[in-house]
A and B are shown apart, each in its own frame.
Chain A
Amino acid sequence: MKSLFLITLRRVLSPARLVMTGGLALAPLAVTSMMLSVDQGASLANFESFVLNGMLAGAIIPLATLATARAGFGDEISDRTLANVTLTPYSRWKVVLPKLLAVTAVPALFIAATAALTSHIAYGADITATRAVTLGAVSAVMLYSTLFVWLDLSTPHAVGIGLAYIVVWEGLFSRFIYGVRFLSLRSYSLSITHGADERRLPDGDHTALGLSLAVAVALVAVLFVLCVRRLRTMDVP
Chain B
Amino acid sequence: MTSASDAPVIRADRLSRWFGNIVAVNDVTLDVRPGITGLLGPNGAGKSTLIRMIAGVARASSGTVTVFGEPVRNNPPLAKRIGIMQEHEAVYGFMTGRRFVRLMGELRQVTPLDAAVERAIGLVELLDAADRKIRTYSRGMRQRIRLAGALVHDPEVLLLDEPLNGADPKQRIQFQRLLRRYADEGRTIVISSHILEEIERIADTVLLLVNGKLAASGDFRAIRAALNERPYHVLVACDSPRSLASAVVQLDSVEAVRLDADGRIVILSRNVRDLQIELPRLAQQESVTLRRVVPLDDSLESVFGYLVDGGER
Contacts and interface: CB of A to CB of B under 8 A. Distances in A.
Decide whether A and B assemble into one complex.
yes
Interface of A: 3-4, 7, 10, 79-92, 232-233, 235-237
A90 B57 contact: no
B74 interface: yes
Interface residues of B, number: 27
B84 A87 contact: yes
Nearest to B87: A80
B106 A84 contact: no
Interface of B: 52, 55-59, 74, 76-77, 79-80, 82, 84, 86, 88-92, 94, 103-104, 106-109, 149
B90 A7 contact: no
8 contacts: A7-B103, A81-B91, A84-B104, A87-B82, A90-B76, A233-B59, A236-B52, A237-B88
Contact of A84 (B52, B55, B90): B90
A80 B85 CA distance: 12
Q: Which of B89, B90, B94, B149 has the most CB of A within 10 A?
A: B90
B57 A85 contact: no
A85 B107 contact: yes
Nearest to A91: B76
B59 A88 contact: no
B88 A80 contact: yes
Contacts of B52: 235-236
A236 B58 contact: yes
Nearest to B58: A235
Given A87-B79, A235-B57, A3 B88 contact: no
A36 B74 CA distance: 56
Q: Which of A81, A87, A232, A236 has the most CB of B within 10 A?
A: A87
Given A81-B92, A91-B76, A237-B88, 4 more contacts: A79-B90, A84-B90, A85-B107, A87-B55
Contact of B80 (A79, A89, A92, A236): A89
Nearest to B81: A89
Contacts of A235: 52, 57-59
A236 B55 CA distance: 11
Contacts, number: 60
A4 B57 contact: no
A79 B134 CA distance: 15
Nearest to B78: A89
B89 A80 contact: yes
B57 A83 contact: yes
Nearest to B159: A87
A81 B134 CA distance: 14
A89 B108 contact: yes
A235 B56 CA distance: 9
B147 to A, nearest CB: 14
Contacts of A232: 74
Contacts of A89: 76-77, 79-80, 108-109
A75 to B, nearest CB: 11
Contacts of A82: 90
B84 A83 contact: yes
A3 B59 contact: no
Given A85-B107, A87-B57, A89-B77, A7 B86 contact: no
Contact of A3 (B55, B74, B76, B106): B106
Contacts of A3: 103, 106-107
